[in-house]
Amino acid sequence: MACNLTVGRNEPCKESIGGLAGVYFLNFTTGSFTKNGSGEVTAFPSGSTVYYYQLKGTSAYTETVTTSRENGTTFFSQALTLNLKKLTNDMTTQLKLLAYGRPVAIIWTTNGEALVAGLTKGCDVTGG
């Protein structure tokens, strides 16, 4: 694998809107996601059901890069923090199912971009 940079970057205009609009969850499956030549997901595995959670307020997504010169490794840790209001018994049950499973999360930003977490192994869910 080549480790050389392939493109530069100019400072973008300040026209972005920060925050998350929502998150889509689907149950982890061993089926494959369809990707284009850039590696972007263009289709879900056949038979997948996607569940949308609308977000407002202080929900956040962060991605941390950790590199070890000693081990010659680099990995990415993703964290999605959701602020869900007015939880009902039914919603609490769904959150338990999220924690018991390994869902894939598609995070929808207010800029209209989608970020995927847990694509190859699913996500681990914790709560408080």
Sequential pLDDT tens for the chain (128 residues):
678 888 898 888 877 777 899 999 999 887 778 888 888 888 888 888 889 999 988 899 999 999 999 999 998 888 999 998 888 999 999 999 999 999 999 999 988 888 889 888 899 988 77
Contact criterion met (CB below 8 Å) for 54 and 22? yes
DSSP state of 33: P
The two three-digit tokens of residue 95, written as one number: 């959150």
In whole angstroms, what is the distance from residue 40 CA to residue 114 CA?
10
Residue carrying structure tokens 């018991």: 100
Cα of 58 vs its chain's centroid, Å: 16
Q: Any bridge partners for residue 16, and if so which?
A: none
Is residue 85 classed as helix, strand or coil in its secondary structure? coil
| Residue 64: CB atoms within 10 Å | 9
Residue 34 confidence (pLDDT): 83
At which residue do the structure tokens 């530069």 appear?
Answer: 8
Query: Length of the chain, please?
Result: 128
pLDDT at 1: 61
Angle at 68 between CA 62 and CA 72, to 5 degrees: 120
